[in-house]
Amino acid sequence: MSGFTGIKDLDVIFGITGLAVAIIFSLLKIKKLDSSAEMEITRIISESSGNDNNVIPCS
C-alpha cells in the first residue's frame, strides 16, 4: 500500500488499525456471548427452583 501512495508507514498504520478493529469486534462478541450464557444459566436455575415435585416431604 505504501508503494502506491508514497507514505512510508502506511502499512504499519493500516495493520495497527486493523488489529484495533479486530480486538474491539472480538470484545463486543465475547460480551454478547457472555450475557446470553448468563441468561441461559438464570433460566435453568429458575426452572429448577420452581419444579420441586421430586422432593419427598418429611413427616
pLDDT at position 59 over 70: no
Which phi and psi angles does 20 have, rounded to 5°? -65, -40
pLDDT, tens only, 12-58? 888 999 999 999 999 999 888 877 877 777 777 787 776 555 555 56
Quote the pLDDT of residue 23: 96
pLDDT at position 1 over 70: no
Quote the pLDDT of residue 50: 61
Question: What gap in Å lies between CA 19 and CA 28, rounded to an integer?
Answer: 14
